[in-house]
Amino acid sequence: MKVLVTGAAGFIGSNLVMRLLESEPDIEVVGLDNLNDYYDVSLKYWRLGRISSPRWRFVKGDIADKSLVDNLFYEEHFDVVVNLAAQAGVRYSITNPDAYIQSNLIGFYNILEACRHHPVQHLVYASSSSVYGSNVKVPYSTDDKVDNPVSLYAATKKSNELLAHAYGKLYDIPSTGLRFFTVYGPAGRPDMAYFGFTDKLLKGETIKIFNYGNCMRDFTYVDDIVEGVQRVIHKAPKKRKGDDGLPVPPYAVYNIGNSSPENLLDFVQILQEELVRAGVLPADYDFEAHKELVPMQPGDVPVTYADTAPLERDFGFKPHTPLRVGLRQFAEWYKEFYGV
């Protein structure tokens, strides 16, 4: 099997590539990433540097480049495509909307068109818990209506699901969208709260805790996300015809989350303890002097909470890594990577 992983230098993408190459000897992987400077590029190169296999090839390029994507599909004859390339982040979408339109809409359209003209067995793509917007019912179920996004980022991710459904109906392209819930872990994205908090505390700066700490997040460890993606890759939605003679869209969407939301203040407390334990910060660090409770930011939501029953039912898997275990792994990695 030959698999294309877009966003291969990213947090989830690089971990997925390593997992596939290490655990599936019959898989070849081609990675695509534009290595943009949304955050520290050296971290992306470090992730790529950990991948070593004769069954691995990396291509530097952008999914928004239609001819590059078409040529890659023409040359490689992919069996499965895992589209993880996207402009991520809610707050950045307020100030830099163009990046989201280019990558998350035009880029995703290019992937769909390539899958149409060079048929694949399965397209797996990253959606996001942000599609639930201001829904008040929890836990979030994939059966819920998601018509009220509160950020451009969320709107682009919902658009991906709609486009995949339409292409499934028109061209019988099997696709599975995965709504990820607050992914964290070693070598993660520096714009994520746990990473940014660590950077600021180390510099003696103040960390801002939004909504006065009254936020709940379904923090999901990266290894759990990767295992979920790997299982989904091998089980595409079945193709079948409807009464109209046209394909019933071979289309599915799942949540991948820890389904155990944590209060933001508790999360910060555990992070502090693990940073001290790892030696990133001294035992006598005055955390209270470096915390500020502030209002909610535009585009944010007060709670994320995944209903993962369908994932369990169809794949026999449920994310399970406790927050303390995951943050301990992050703190130890941070100390080593930055030589603290």
| Digit-coded pLDDT (tens) for 61-70 | 999 999 999 9
Query: Tell me, what's the pLDDT at 254?
Result: 98
Query: Tell me, what's the pLDDT at 302?
Result: 80
Query: Tell me, what's the pLDDT at 210?
Result: 86
Query: Tell me, what's the pLDDT at 228?
Result: 98
- First vs last Cα of the chain: how many Å apart? 42
Query: Tell me, what's the pLDDT at 301?
Result: 79
**254 touches 310 (CB < 8 A):** yes
Those residues with Cβ within 8 angstroms of residue 171's Cβ, 6 or more apart along the chain or in another chain: 115, 116, 247
Has this prediction a pTM greater than 0.75?
yes
Query: Tell me, what's the pLDDT at 84?
Result: 98
Query: Tell me, what's the pLDDT at 26?
Result: 97
Query: Tell me, what's the pLDDT at 303?
Result: 83
Query: What fold, for 2-182+221-257+304-320?
Result: Rossmann fold (3.40.50)
Query: Tell me, what's the pLDDT at 14?
Result: 98
Tokens of 146: 């998601």
Segments in the chain forming alpha helices (H):
11-23, 41-49, 66-76, 91-95, 97-100, 108-117, 152-171, 193-202, 222-233, 264-278, 309-315, 323-337
Is 100 an annotated catalytic residue?
no
Catalytic residue among 109, 132, 153, 254: 153
Per-residue pLDDT of the chain (340 residues; tens, 9 = 90+): 999 999 999 999 999 999 999 999 999 999 999 999 999 999 999 999 999 999 999 999 999 999 999 999 999 999 999 999 999 988 889 899 999 999 999 999 999 999 999 999 999 999 999 999 888 888 999 999 999 899 999 999 999 999 999 999 999 999 999 999 999 999 999 999 999 999 999 999 999 998 888 888 999 999 999 999 999 999 999 999 888 888 899 999 999 999 999 999 999 999 999 999 999 999 999 999 999 999 988 777 788 899 999 999 999 999 999 999 999 999 999 999 999 8
Extents of the domains making up the chain: 2-182+221-257+304-320
Query: Tell me, what's the pLDDT at 300?
Result: 75
